[in-house]
Amino acid sequence: MTAAPPADVAARATAGFRQRYGGEPAGRWAAPGRVNLIGEHTDYNDGFVLPFALPLRTVVAATSRNDARWTVWSELDAAPVEFGPADVDEPGRVTGWAAYVAGVVWALRAAGHTVPGARLAVASDVPVGAGLSSSAAIEAAVLAALVDLGGLHLPTDRWPRLAQRAENDYVGAPTGIMDQSAVIRGRSGHALLLDCRTEEIEQIPFDLALAGLAMLVIDSRAPHRHADGEYAARRRSCERAARTLGVPALRDVNITDLDAALPKLPDDETRRRVRHVVTEDQRVLDTAVLLRAGLIGDVGPLLTASHASMRDDFEITVPEVDIAVEAALAAGAYGARMTGGGFGGCVLALIEASAADAVAAAVATAYAERGFAAPGPVTVFPTGGVTRLD
Ligand code: GLA
C-alpha cells in the first residue's frame, strides 16, 4: 500500500476553506511528516540525526485578513478556532491542535515580525499521535503561509528554530530541532544528516528504489503511555549527566571516551541513558558513511542496534513496537527500529522492495496472536520539505 497522493489532501484543504470562509484561498502551502532513519533522542543532546521527509502531507489553504486576528479550521474539529494578539501573547492560552498555529504566530511576533491576520483551513494525511511529526508539519505549513501572506523577510534556514520555539515555548513540549528541520529542509530522494548543534546539514542520496529496497513504516497503534512526562524525564536525565561529566552536552562525549565517562555517573540508569545517546550518535555517523558509499542495505544492523539501545538502555519502547521489530526481522527485514520519541508510534523496517506484503503480513499476524490492535503499514520514500503549492 502506498501513501495517499498529495492532491487529495490539498483538495480537502481547499474544500474546507471554501465551506468555512467562502471564496478562494490566496494560496496553499504543504509540509510533510517525517520519519527518522536513525538518531533518536540525540537532537536535544546537540548530537546528530538522519531523518527524511515523508510523502504524507499537511496542507494549509489561507488568506490574509485586515485585522490582527487568526481563524483556523482543521479537519480534526467541526468548529474553527479564533484567537487574537492577547491569546497569542500568553503562551498556553490557545490549546489543542490550534496551539501549534498560535505558537507559530507567537514565535514570529516574538522574533519581531508583523504577522498578518489570516483565515486558515488545515487538512492532513499525517496521522496524529503516530510519531510522524504531525505537529512539525502543521507548524511548517502555517509558518510558510504566514511568511508569504505577510511578505516577511525570514530566510528558510531560520524556520526550524522558530517552529521549535513555537512547540517548546508556546505549546510547552521540550522537544529538539529534528522534526522541524526534517519537514522544512528535507529534500526528495535524500536523507538529511543534521548536526543539531551547528544546524549544518548534508543531503545524503537515499534512493531506496535504485537499490531494490523499500522502507516500511508500521504504525504500532500503541497508545502513547505517559509519553510527554517520560520524554521530559529523559531530557532532564541527559542534561544532568552532561553537567556531572563537565561537558556542555552529551554530544561532547566521544565514543572512545565512553568507557572512562560511565564510572563517573551516579547510577546504573544514568549510565544506560548516556550509553544510548553516545552510541546512537556514533550509529548516525556510521550510517552516513554507508549511505555516502551507496550501501543502503548495509545499514540494517545499525537500525536494529539502535532499537536494542532504545529498548534496553533508554527504555522508551513498548511491547507493541518491540514485537513489530522482532516480527519484521524474522520475516527477513535487513534492519528495524522504532522511530520518533518513543512509548508507541511507528516502527520502520528496511526491506527488499518485493517483501513489503510479506513483512506487513508477518507483523499483522504477530499482533493478532497477542490481541494487539491491527498495525498500519505503509511504504515510504524521501520527499521534499515544506513548499507553496499554488
Ligand atoms: C520527538 C521530538 C524530537 C526528538 C525525537 C526523539 O520526535 O520532537 O525533537 O527528540 O522525539 O529523537
DSSP 261-285: HGGGSSSHHHHHHHHHHHHHHHHHH
Q: Is the CB of 40 under 6 A from ligand 1?
A: yes
Catalytic residue among 43, 46, 125, 179, which?
179
What is the number of other CB atoms lying within 10 angstroms of the CB of residue 75? 15
Mutate to test the pocket of ligand 1, among 34, 35, 36, 43 (most ligand atoms within 8 A of CB): 43
- pLDDT tens per residue, range 375-385: 999 999 999 99
Report the C-alpha gap between 335 and 303 in whole angstroms.
5
- pLDDT tens per residue, range 348-376: 999 999 999 999 999 999 999 999 999 99
Centroid of ligand 1 to alpha carbon of 119 (angstroms): 30
Q: Is the CB of 179 under 6 A from ligand 1?
A: yes
Q: What is the residue with the minimal CA distance to atom 2 of ligand 1?
A: 175
Q: What is the pLDDT of residue 1?
A: 43
CB 193 within 8 A of CB 288: yes
Q: What is the pLDDT of residue 178?
A: 98
pLDDT at 6 over 90: no
The reply to whether 179 belongs to the active site is yes
Between 59 and 7, where is the model more confident?
Answer: 59
Query: Could you give the strand order of the β-sheet that contains 201-205, starting from the edge strand earlier in sequence?
Result: 48-49, 190-195, 201-205
pLDDT at 110 over 50: yes
Q: What is the pLDDT of residue 176?
A: 98
Q: What is the largest CA-CA distance in the chain?
A: 66
**Which atom number of ligand 1 is nearest to the Cα of residue 178?**
9
pLDDT at 4 over 60: no
Average pLDDT over residues 318-329: 98
Q: What is the pLDDT of residue 227?
A: 83
**Which atom number of ligand 1 is nearest to the Cα of residue 133?**
7
pLDDT at 2 over 70: no
Q: What is the pLDDT of residue 183?
A: 98
Query: Could you give the strand order of the β-sheet that contains 27-36, starting from the edge strand earlier in sequence?
Result: 81-83, 70-74, 117-124, 51-65, 27-36, 387-388
Average pLDDT over residues 294-304: 98
Retrieve residue 175's grid coordinates. Answer: 522537544
Residue-averaged pLDDT of the chain = 96
Q: What is the residue with the minimal CA distance to atom 5 of ligand 1?
A: 341
CB 314 within 8 A of CB 234: yes
